[in-house]
Amino acid sequence: GGYVSCALLLEIAPSGASNMNAVLYPFHLAKTSGDITADVLDIFRWIIIVAYFCLYKVWRSCEDYTVEGQSGLRYVLSLAGFLDACVVALFIALQYGKLAKQRPVEPMSSSTSQNFVSYSRWAAWEEMQVIGEAVLLMLLILRYCMLLRFFPSVYRFFILFQKSVRVSLYYLMIFVPIGLSTVFFANTLYSPYVEGYSTWVKSGMSFVSSLQNVVDIDALFKASPAWTFAYSLYCYLVLFCFFVNGFLAITAYAYFEVELTEHSDPKYNRWSRDQWLDWALVGPIYRRVTGKEPGSSRKIGLEDEEDGDDEEASDEED
C-alpha cells in the first residue's frame, strides 16, 4: 500500500490572522508489481546506457574524428559528448541511490514502538528519484533528436535554433533591463494590495505570466484604477507591441536565412543505398554484407564531387 508523509504548519500573527501550509509527499515501502518490472528493465538500461553510451559510442565517435584528421577530444568537448556524459552519470547516480538507500520499517510494524520513525526523508528521496528519471528521459529524447539530424528538415531546424538563440542572447541585453524595470514598477504599485505582487519573486512570476497574456486585471484595477491604466498601456505599447515581437522577428529572419543557405532539393541531393548501409551498419557487418570497406561510400562521394569540379573547370577553359 501507499502512505503520505505530511508536514503541517500553522502560522498565527499577533493580529489574529492565520496562514496554513501543508507539504504532502506520497510514498510506498513495499515492492509493487511496477517495482519488479522496473528492476527487470534496469538490466536492459544498464546494457544500453553504460555499454553503448559509455563504451561503444565514445570509442566510435573518437575514432571517426581521428579518421577525419581531427582530435578525438572534439567529441568529448562537444554538445553530444556532454549529453552522453550526463546520461551515463545520471543513470549511475539513480541506480546507486536505489541500491544504497535502506528502506525504513513499515509504519504498521513500528506502531507499537516507543521511538518516533520519520518518513519525510524517504518520501522526499522518492520524489527526487522520480524527478531524476524524468530528467534522464528528457536527456535521452534530446539525444535521440540530435541523431535525427541526417534528415534535412531536422538539420535545418537545429541550424535555425542555433542562429536564433545566438541573436536572442544579444537581444536579451536590451530586454532584461526593461523587464526588471517593469517588475520594479509593478511591485511598487501593487505589493501592499495584490498577492501576486507581494514579493519580488511573485512579481517576477506575474511579469512572466503577463507576457503570456495571463493577468488578473480586475484585481489590479481595484487596487489602483489610475495607475493600472498607465501600467497596462505601458506593457501593451512597450512590451507586447515592440519587445516581445522582437523574438518572433529574430526567429523569422533566421528561418528565411536557413532556407536560403541550407536548403537542398531531395530529388538530386539524397543518399544512395550503399551510403545508407555504410551509415547504419557497424564496420564488420557492412564489410560482410556489401564486400566494401567501411567509409567507402563517403570517399566515393568526395571523388565524384572532385571529378565534377574538374570537369566544370575544363569546360570553362574550353
What does the pLDDT read at residue 68?
77
pLDDT computed for residue 244 by the predictor = 86
SS3 content of the chain, % helix, strand, coil (to 5): 70, 5, 20
Residue 3 is inside which H or E element, if any? strand 2-12
Give 210's contacts (C-beta < 8 A, 6+ positions apart): 235, 239
Question: What pTM was computed for the model?
Answer: 0.62
- Per-residue pLDDT at 116: 66
- For residue 104, the model assigns a pLDDT of 65
Distances in Å between the alpha carbon of 144 and those of 53, 249, 287? 12, 29, 26
Q: Which residues pair with 26 in a beta bridge?
A: 4
* 133, 137, 138, 141: CA torsion to nearest 10: 170
- The CB-side HSE value for 196 (13 A sphere, CA atoms) comes to 17
DSSP secondary structure string for all residues of 211-280: HTT---HHHHHHH-HHHHHHHHHHIIIIIIIIIHHHHHHHHHHHHHHHHHHH---TTTS---HHHHHHHH
Q: What is the pLDDT along the chain (318 residues), one digit of tens a residue?
A: 577 878 888 888 777 777 788 878 787 777 777 777 878 888 888 888 877 777 777 877 888 788 777 787 788 788 888 888 888 888 888 888 887 776 666 655 555 556 666 777 778 888 888 898 899 999 989 888 888 887 788 888 889 998 999 999 999 999 999 989 999 988 888 888 888 888 888 888 888 888 887 888 888 888 888 888 888 888 888 888 888 888 989 999 998 888 888 776 666 667 778 887 887 787 788 888 888 887 777 654 444 444 444 455 455 555
CB 186 within 8 A of CB 200: no
Cell 522496473, located at residue: 38
- 275 CB contacts (<8 Å, ≥6 apart)? 297, 298, 301
Residue 253: what pLDDT? 92
Measure the CA angle with vertex 156, ends 268 and 159; round to 5°.
140
CB 124 within 8 A of CB 25: yes
